[in-house]
């Protein structure tokens, strides 16, 4: 998709990867809507990129009701939805409250699913559009003290793969970006306060040194590519782990394709 003049919605757009992606896409001529919890950072990023700021708490499902419809009424059809917002609960699961679990799972998984549900009918009617879900390599691993985050990201990656197969007869594209550790983000700072997670992050970082800016550039390059994408692993050195975990899905494709 040519991102020039494309209407791109980015959740978690106030800082970190979301803000870096907003700046990257604004530089390529995209029209932006940034969603995040109310903050000065959201207003500043929106002002810097010429975006529309939508203050919303993605951990509150009621606040998402009709959200895409309101965005499209204000700024036109959504061409690209980037589900980037996430929350990390980096501590032993036994210490987490019911509210901790709800907010993590809702922000990381239920909100992307709901926003995708809202945006997809219009994309299918226009026979164009992209849904991009920002996931994590820890969704492919069993990580101590990241039970909610890892499982929510595993669910987001699987949702992306299933949705890609639902839309395969259209020109709508679904992509999951599976990221390694990205220093310079709030989630990284929050998670690595935990010593166990810090040790894991240090090992993952050896694959490649990621920054919000180089991740944003890779995402933007992929969004501008006309080829259909399923899973994009950043950094590429993490791809073997993800590809190995996807093997049952690939085998399932053979079964389902032969059955149909």
How many Cβ atoms are within 10 Å of 100's Cβ, its own excluded?
A: 15
Using left for φ > 0, alpha for ψ between -120 and 50, and beta otherwise, residue 123 falls in: alpha
First to last CA, the chain: 29
Q: Where are the alpha helices (DSSP H) in 30-129?
A: 40-49, 61-64, 67-75, 98-105, 111-126
Contact 80, 120 (CB under 8 A): no
For the annotated catalytic residues, the residue numbers are 149
Select from 166, 89, 159 the least CA-distant residue to 123. Answer: 166
Select from 10, 133, 112, 132 the least CA-distant residue to 58. Answer: 112
């Amino acid at each position: 998709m040519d991102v020039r003049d494309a209407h791109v919605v980015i959740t978690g757009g106030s800082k970190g990867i979301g803000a870096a992606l907003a700046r990257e896409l604004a530089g390529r001529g995209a029209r932006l809507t940034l969603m995040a919890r109310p903050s000065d950072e959201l207003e500043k990023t929106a002002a810097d990129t010429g975006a529309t700021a939508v203050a919303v708490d993605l951990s509150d499902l009621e606040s998402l009701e009709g959200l895409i419809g309101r965005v499209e009424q204000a700024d036109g059809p959504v061409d690209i939805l980037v589900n980037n917002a996430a929350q990390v609960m980096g501590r032993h699961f036994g210490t987490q409250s019911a509210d901790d679990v709800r907010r993590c799972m809702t922000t990381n998984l239920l909100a992307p699913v709901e926003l995708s549900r809202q945006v997809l009918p219009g994309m299918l009617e226009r026979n164009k559009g992209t849904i991009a879900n920002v996931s994590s390599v820890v969704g492919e691993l069993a990580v101590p003290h990241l039970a909610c985050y890892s499982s929510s990201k595993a669910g987001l990656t699987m949702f992306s793969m299933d949705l890609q197969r639902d839309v395969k007869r259209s020109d709508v594209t679904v992509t999951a970006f599976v990221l390694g550790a990205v220093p310079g983000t709030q989630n990284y700072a929050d998670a690595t306060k935990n010593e166990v997670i810090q040790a894991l992050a240090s090992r993952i970082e050896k694959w490649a040194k990621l920054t919000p800016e180089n991740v944003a550039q890779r995402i933007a390059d992929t969004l501008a590519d006309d080829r259909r994408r399923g899973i994009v692993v950043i950094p590429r050195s993490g791809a073997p782990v993800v590809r190995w975990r996807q093997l049952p899905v690939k085998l399932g494709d053979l079964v389902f394709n032969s059955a149909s």
